[in-house]
Amino acid sequence: MTMPSIIRVFPRKTKATPTDALAYFGPPDRLAEADEVHVSVTFTYDKEYAEHLAEQWKRVAPVKIGGVAYGDRGAEFVPGRYIKPGYVFTSRGCPRLLVLLGVEARSGPAPATDHRRLEHPRRQSARLSA
Name the amino acid, one letter, at 43. F
Indicate whether 92 belongs to any domain: yes
Average pLDDT estimate for 19-47: 93
Residue 52 is predicted with a pLDDT of 97
Asked if the structure places residue 1 within a domain, the reply is no
* Total number of domains constituting the chain: 1
Residue 96 has pLDDT above 50, yes or no: yes
Mean pLDDT of 36-60: 94
Average pLDDT over the chain reads 78
Average confidence (pLDDT) over 29-38: 94
CB 84 within 8 A of CB 92: no
Residue 27 lies inside a defined structural domain of this protein: yes
Parent domain of 60:
6-129
The answer to whether 40 and 9 are in contact (CB under 8 A) is yes
The rounded distance, in Å, linking the Cα atoms of 66 and 88 is 20
pLDDT score of 60 more than 80: yes
Q: Are 100 and 38 in contact (CB under 8 A)?
A: no
Q: Write out the H or E segment, with its range, that includes residue 24.
A: strand 23-24
Residue 54 lies in a domain: yes
In a domain, 23, yes or no: yes
Ordered alpha helix ranges (H), the chain = 47-57, 103-107, 121-129
> Which residues make beta-bridge pairs with 24?
9
Report the C-alpha gap between 128 and 116 in whole angstroms.
Answer: 9
40 has pLDDT over 70: yes
